[in-house]
Structure 1
Amino acid sequence: MFGKKKPIPQIDKDQLELIENAQKRIKQKKRLYIHFVIFLIGAIFLIAANTVLGIGKDFKLFGKEWFLFAILIWLFFFLYHLFNVFITHKFMGETWEKEQLEKLVAKQQERIDKLKAGFVKEETLIAQSEVYAEANPKIQSPKSKKTQSELTIIVAAAENDAIGKGNKLIWHLSNDLKRFKNLTNGHHIIMGRKTFESFPKPLPNRTHIVITRQNDYKVPDGVIVVNSLEDAIDAAKSDPQPFIIGGGEIYKQALLLADKIELTRVHEDFEADTYFPKIDTSVWKEIANTFHTKDEKHKHEFSFLTYERI
């Protein structure tokens, strides 16, 4: 999903407007010039038809030759055409063109500034990730050479999709914690600020990426802070399988982008203040299901489920 090419920028709306209006202006003036030439030739022809060829010589209107009225009517339409081109469309003259060019230049400069800011931000995120990886070589995987990454959601949810209450887990399942550790070990883990703050300290052997709107949010060395899920995914580009680990809002956003879901389904309903979104089986296909019964270490029945996007 990280191998997609960035869309090629399309022609700017203001550029297109400027080009279309310039072309329209040229066509208007051409049509006016042609109208003027035809009017002159037509007027001469009408006069010649009446005086030389004698066409309608005996036909008069209000005591005047008929061709005079024909020429006057034609002149009216020509003057109306002239008025439209140079009066009605005056706003499309040199002043308008200058305003459009200034507007275009300002718009282009704004786009350039945004692109520069984006490049700086992306380079910073990549540098943070690479520095942490160099400082922790054990977390590198041979798969990191792959150009494609598999964004994976990992979550434990009850039958009613409850996942937490008061920023804490509702249950303690030893095998679930072991599974979480085994799957995420050596990978980037992406989370919201509240999820990060629920840890006593950063989890070992993993690169933490924290999403928060706080610009001055303080974190320990090695933890990457970003402002959006998109930036978090960019920061984990070098990882063949980054994991989304919570909370509820981050899960909701990630569900539209993820390639896989590793779900621990706890087979009971619980009261909670945070829930996992419903899994749409028309979008996700279950490829693995392992059931665990209750025992001395597990107070609830649960299943390990794996889903892949269809």
Structure 2
Amino acid sequence: MFGKKRPTPQIDKDQLELIENAQKRIRQKKGLYIHFVIFLLGAVFLIIANTVLGIGKEVTFFGKEWFLYAILAWSFFFVYHLITVFVTHKFMGKAWEKEQLEKLVAKQQVRIEALKSTLDKEEKLIVKSEVFKSEQKVKEAISTGNQELTVIVAAAENDAIGKGNKLIWHLSDDLKRFKSLTNGHHIIMGRKTFESFPKPLPNRTHVVITRQTDYKAPEGVILVNSLEEAIEASKSDVQPYIIGGGEIYKQAMAVADKIELTRVHESFDADTFFPEVDTSIWKETAHKFHNKDDKHDYEFTFLTYERK
């Protein structure tokens, strides 16, 4: 109808490339045909010019008449054109270019993967080296201070120790044991563990590890940035205790001398866990079982481990 535009036919990129390539081939073949016609006409003209008209009859090169070299040169350009259109295009055309490109891309991809693998290995070695250096510094801090660094923890059978920054159970005798062991000592902890207390525990020096530079704590609480610094801050205490949380426990297991573990004989849903005690490194030196009763909802065992 009037005023309605006819839709313009759309040609996608691949189709357009095929059409352009076909047009290019047609031009090449047309050029070859013209070259062939010109070659024949030129050759005939050269022969007539030399034999009939006698042009340049006296001109020779290496004992041969000049027009023979002219025909050979003419033939060379014709053969070159012929090879370009039918041979070179076939073996070194679009398909050949694409194949070569894919080979180059594949080689580059192999090199990239090899480089990534090398970088990953180097990164892991660097991380291991940094961890090793940190552990060595902590060990030096302990040895120079003549300390016995002790980890104290209550963990379930599945190594659960807490959820939502809170204890999962309430065991009266375990709390009494914790108080008895840590009384009068430095207790080292992470910021979240410290914040789980309503207030600082009496008769103990709190050493809190935090990355927050502007963290505010009550008077008497020592703030540090690492476990190494925490041990250094506790050097006046012959037996400082590490009381959590999960990440601090992981770091401490590499340098602690003793573990005071309350093993709760039940499994719990948790978001914080204690590292597995490797019995090839730790030797059990004390064991005391406690039954369930009206003050304790679960059976548990007091265990002491010392480094072999």
What is the TM-score with the length of structure 1 in the denominator?
Answer: 0.53
Helix, strand or coil: the match of 1:230? Answer: helix
Q: How many Å separate the matches in 1 of 2:305 and 2:282?
A: 6
Q: Distance in 2 between matches of 1:184 and 1:292?
A: 21
Number of aligned residue pairs: give it: 165
Question: For residue 248 of structure 1, what is the amino acid of its counterpart?
Answer: G
Q: Which residue of 2 aligns with 1:297?
A: 295
Which of 164, 167, 173 aligns to 2:165? It is 167
The one-letter code matched in structure 2 to 1:238 is S
Amino acid at match of 1:227: N
Say if 2:241 is the partner of 1:243. Answer: yes
Q: In structure 1, what residue type is equivalent to 2:153? A: V
Task: Determine the C-alpha separation between the residues in 1 that align with 2:165 and 2:248.
Answer: 14
Q: Which sections of structure 1, spanning at least 5 residues, go unmatched?
A: 1-145
- Counterpart in the other structure of 1:184: 182
1:132 corresponds in structure 2 to none
Give the Cα separation in 2 of the matches to 1:261 and 1:278: 12
CA distance in 1, matches of 2:281, 2:175: 27
Deviation at 1:148, TM superposition (A): 1.2
- Provide runs of 4+ in structure 1 moved above 6 Å: none
Higher radius of gyration, 1 or 2: 2
Distance 1:236 1:309 in 2: 21
SS in 1 for 2:262: strand
Equivalent position to 1:214, from 208, 212, 215: 212
- In structure 1, the partner of 2:226 is 228
Alignment match of 2:147 (pick from 146, 149, 155): 149
- 1:193 partnered with 2:178: no
> Could you tell me how far apart the structure 2 residues matched to 1:147 and 1:237 are?
5
Shift of 1:197: 0.1
Report the CA distance between 1:147 and its aligned residue.
Answer: 4.9
Q: Pairwise mapping of residues 1-150 of structure 1 onto structure 2 (< 5 A)?
A: 147-150=145-148
User: 2 CA distance for matches of 1:205 and 1:213?
Assistant: 26
Q: Distance between the aligned counterparts of 2:236 and 2:153, measured in 1?
A: 23
Of 255, 267, 270, which residue of structure 2 is paired with 1:269? 267
Distance in 1 (alpha carbons) for counterparts of 2:247 and 2:161: 12
Write the distance in 2 (CA, Å) between the matches of 1:161 and 1:222. 32
TM-score, normalised to structure 2, is: 0.53
Deviation string for 1:246-302 (max 9, x for gaps)? 000000000000000000000000000000000000000000000000000000000
